[in-house]
Structure 1
Amino acid sequence: MSVLTALARVKATQEGRAQRLVSMRHTYLSERPLVVIPLRMAGETAAPLAFMIGSNPAAPTLLVAHQPRDRALRFRFLADVADQILPYIESCCATPEIITTKSGEELVSYGDAPQLIVPNGGGATFLRLLGRSTRFRQIEGPYAVPENVPLLGRWLTWFAARAEQPGSANLLSMTSVLSAHWATGQSGLEDANLAALLGWIDPPAGLSGAAAAALAEDPLHSPPAGPATDPGFDNEELKPLMDAHDAAIDDRAREVTAERLEQALRLQLEPTWRSMWRAIELLEKLPPGASVAARWGRDRADFSWFAGNLAEAPPQARRDAAVSAVRTLLKRERALEEFDAQRAFDDPWVMAEHRLVGNACHATVLEADPTRTVTGSGSRKTLRPSIRVQITDEAFVATVGEKYSCVERPKQAATVIDIDSDTVELELSGGMGRKLVPELGSVPEAGDRIGFARFSPSSGHPMPSLPPREETPWTHGGPPPEWVPNEDDAQEEWS
């Protein structure tokens, strides 16, 4: 936790209301997100009990597995879930466009991408487990499942992978998104409770954040947001209703008990459904950061690629091979680095955190030489303006030869060429045009107040060269065998 975040938490406790950590929203919000609230069977990690799902706040769809332990009923229920999620995904493929890459390859690009929003991190984990337990199932043979179930599993696995990609917005955990934008007066563990978190951010009239959060922790007032249910509800309501459904002697009795079970689960899920849309409204009031749209563009590109290769590719492997695992890890590390930098360049509140620890600074331009040139190889002159600045942040210590990024002009770099007492001379490069005279406004002038950072919003680290799959070194297990999906892949012990 940073100093400013700790200060915001102290202030939230004093004022009884959550404090904003950022001045803008750093997460993309679709105009038509699909809210998914899953519940699972107690003691059965991958056994779905119910889903409340939909993209219309006024018309949620409730799906119930009346007996999750029954394999046939479970997969029939998952087929119903697929009937809700897959059409939503397909609707994002309505406007395909053919684009040509620099290498001349033609790719299909869709104008939109799906966005699933779950209440908390547990909901995202449950979707990942559900995807892994369904994507390997066979639609023919003795244990056949409905045709759309394996397809649902592959898509849920894709969403789970996107959730682990920093900056991605294809699968969002609402508590994580809210916690990234507001600081409360409670612990991080308590922030995982959606109702309590919202109690601090937007408490009801007449209540402080602490009082609203305490009220939200009462399971009778605010049932858990899933995927686990309240033990009291399990013992006092759910178990008797499921036992009665199992003991029904005819269709009429089974129908009555099913209606009672559905009503009980609806009452458990509706408060969370309302909280989800209330949270979405709060986030929509924040202006989006400048880099949000570009990150969503990468989400759309990944969606377009996966959708275009879905029919020909096998289900995702249970475990990545060594080379693909390293490649995935490197991509996520670079994405996290870029996401943190982009948030700071977009938002002065986030940049203040970096200034506090000496990773960024504000400076005042004392003098500028916008037409300065240097002579490179072959006696060719290159435009390299210089500016002398006075750095105002005590935590920032400049070093000769160090290279910074300009906050106001992210495409422009500044290299320290001289330090004299309390002033620093910087050589500028990039973002000024191709001539020996800089474009208007591309070079700071005397009196300007500008910022510099030791990081850049675009990663300058190229991906290292990795060996092809067939040349995996022995230290990493050697070349992996060709993976062929089978039914046993879905029988893994859940954890």
Structure 2
Amino acid sequence: MVGQSKRSPRLIFVGQPRNPDQRFIFAAKLGAIVMDYINSCRLNSRQVRSRGGASRSRFTTAPQILVPNPGGIKALTDLGRACRFRKTTGDFPVPAVVPEMGRWLTFLTNSAEQAGTSMLLAVTELLTEHWATGQSTLEDQNLASVLAWISPPDELTVAQALLDAENSIICPPAGPITSPDFDNHQLHSAIKEFDAARVSGDRLAIDAAEEELHDLIGGQIKPTWRMMWDAIALLRGVSEAPGAAKRFDRDCGSFTNFSDYQESGTALPQRARDHAVGAARRLSQLEQAIENFAAERAFDDPFVLADRRSIGEAFAGIVESAAADRVITSAKNRRIARPLVTIRTLDPTRLPDGTMLISPEMATGHKAVIVSTELDGDTSLVTVEINGGMGRSLTPQPGSVPEVGRRIAYLPDPGWRSTPTFPDPDATPWTHTDTSAPDLDISNSDTANAEVWGNDD
């Protein structure tokens, strides 16, 4: 079930899941809807300047697709992989929208692995980001039970709502795994009737069997559809984080880059599996994204900052002294301003000397580095050297150096870590290559096109 409005869902289903032709008819129908939405995000663009000063076009919006739980993202990953290698001509042809959708789904599911993106999101993770429940992380993947904790129906207590959430008749599973009881006692017999109708060739019988399947599957999915929109209504009541616009702008940039590549005429489907260098590079990017997002969340939410302070990953305190006029001579024999600021804090301080710092209380560009940390009774005196955000003169700009008596917080700067250097793929050591593995990365691979979606056993 897919759609952009609560009142206009569209249900797409496969009468016989073991039939590859029907599966890719389903994929073509879904692909038409997905690509219409993606194309609607490519209607408007604006000019932006890169760091080098060059101007380029960037879309003003990006897709935002919601699924009930992380299992939905995994299902889209599998669907994208099954579709993106398909041929549109020759043996096993499919409509052109099928491989196109497959490439876009792969792009979206890859982006979902990166912290701070919002192009493909699981609603359960969004809800538990803002509300706490009394259940485990695994149980939090059940949309019905999460909503039972957060917003139970008016006439029910939380305990009663949780009992309903565990009842597969009242709240069918949100997928992709379905209820075994429903599969065995209702869906199986309906599919058998559909198969018998197709064998008979009776058009009226086929239509009746399809209508029965439509009603059965729709009845299982509609409760989740309603819960999805209930969750969206709750999330719309959450205030937008200060850094959300900046993160969404990065999404627009990624979306534009991938769209430009798809329109270049030389686009290939994403690899079936990363080579060693590609996997290492992607892992490094994901790790950096996690660190960046953690810092941005600390900037956006004082409770997140407090959590990091409690475990020694950040600190806050009162400025005890400030040598704003301190000037040193650099290694290049240039005189530069490097004020020293000492902060008294009650927080546990576990950051080593030399750690680069940023502060949510200071202007963008403010940078500092820990010079020393000394215990003073129940408190710690942390001395930091300001090395960024002061302007280019020997006299720091007003407000760029914290004054004595001011309360300020610092946390590690995730941007200072240097990007690892990786060898070229051709220079990968033999210990990290597998020459015996078949190459499924070529769009016209016979193996890829003979591969069917799902398991016919």
The corresponding residue for 1:447 is 405
The corresponding residue for 2:361 is 408
2:336 is the alignment partner of 1:382: yes
Task: Work out which of the residue numbers 225, 230, 233 in structure 2 matches 1:278.
Answer: 230
Does 91-100 or 274-283 show the bigger shift? Answer: 91-100
The corresponding residue for 1:189 is 138
Instruction: Please list every run of 5 or more consecutive structure 2 residues that lacks an aligned counterpart in the other structure.
Output: none
Distance 1:183 1:440, change over 3 A: same
What is the percentage of aligned positions where both structures have the same residue? 38
Residue 122 of structure 1: how far off its partner (Å) = 1.0
Amino acid at match of 2:391: G
Q: Check the 8 A contact 2:16/2:191 in 1, yes or no.
A: yes
Task: Work out which of the residue numbers 267, 278, 281 in structure 2 matches 1:313.
Answer: 267
TM-score scaled by length of structure 1:
0.83
2:378 is the alignment partner of 1:426: no
CA distance in 2, matches of 1:482, 1:82: 22
Residue 451 of structure 1: how far off its partner (Å) = 1.0
TM-score scaled by length of structure 2:
0.89
Task: Work out which of the residue numbers 403, 408, 427 in structure 2 matches 1:471.
Answer: 427
The corresponding residue for 1:341 is 295
CA deviation map 1:206-264 (0-9, x unaligned):
43333312211111111110112111111222112111122224101111121121111
The corresponding residue for 2:221 is 269
Q: Check the 8 A contact 1:200/1:208 in 2, yes or no.
A: no
Q: Check the 8 A contact 1:114/1:170 in 2, yes or no.
A: yes
Distance 1:347 1:102, change over 3 A: closer
Does 315-324 or 470-479 show the bigger shift? Answer: 470-479
Task: Work out which of the residue numbers 150, 153, 159 in structure 2 matches 1:204.
Answer: 153
Task: Work out which of the residue numbers 385, 392, 395 in structure 2 matches 1:437.
Answer: 395
Q: CA RMSD in A?
A: 2.5
The corresponding residue for 1:350 is 304
Task: Work out which of the residue numbers 426, 447, 452 in structure 2 matches 1:488.
Answer: 447
2:245 is the alignment partner of 1:296: no
CA deviation map 1:260-295 (0-9, x unaligned):
211111111111111111111211211222222222
CA deviation map 1:380-417 (0-9, x unaligned):
43222222321122x22576555433331263214325
Amino acid at match of 2:161: A
The corresponding residue for 1:462 is 418
Task: Work out which of the residue numbers 366, 380, 384 in structure 1 matches 2:320.
Answer: 366
2:114 is the alignment partner of 1:165: yes
Distance 1:487 1:151, change over 3 A: farther
Distance 1:397 1:66, change over 3 A: closer
Task: Work out which of the residue numbers 204, 217, 220 in structure 2 matches 1:252.
Answer: 204
Distance 1:424 1:325, change over 3 A: closer
Instruction: Please list every run of 5 or more consecutive structure 1 residues that lacks an aligned counterpart in the other structure.
Output: 1-51
The corresponding residue for 1:216 is 165
CA distance in 2, matches of 1:68, 1:358: 53
2:61 is the alignment partner of 1:112: yes
Secondary structure at the residue paired with 1:413?
A: strand
CA distance in 2, matches of 1:83, 1:385: 59
CA distance in 2, matches of 1:377, 1:344: 34
Q: Check the 8 A contact 1:138/1:487 in 2, yes or no.
A: no
Amino acid at match of 2:88: I
The corresponding residue for 1:53 is 2
The corresponding residue for 1:87 is 36
CA distance in 2, matches of 1:377, 1:263: 75
Amino acid at match of 1:156: L
CA deviation map 1:52-97 (0-9, x unaligned):
0011121111112111212222211111111111110011111244
Does 161-170 or 106-115 show the bigger shift? Answer: 106-115
Residue 99 of structure 1: how far off its partner (Å) = 5.0
Q: Check the 8 A contact 1:137/1:150 in 2, yes or no.
A: yes
CA distance in 1, matches of 2:194, 2:249: 48
CA deviation map 1:359-394 (0-9, x unaligned):
11121112323222223356643222222321122x
Distance 1:378 1:126, change over 3 A: closer
CA distance in 1, matches of 2:49, 2:442: 32
Distance 1:414 1:483, change over 3 A: closer
CA distance in 2, matches of 1:360, 1:142: 59
CA distance in 2, matches of 1:482, 1:191: 36
The corresponding residue for 2:349 is 396
Q: Check the 8 A contact 1:400/1:419 in 2, yes or no.
A: no
Distance 1:102 1:338, change over 3 A: closer
CA distance in 2, matches of 1:167, 1:378: 38
Residue 478 of structure 1: how far off its partner (Å) = 8.4
Distance 1:114 1:58, change over 3 A: same
Distance 1:254 1:119, change over 3 A: same
CA distance in 2, matches of 1:400, 1:195: 48
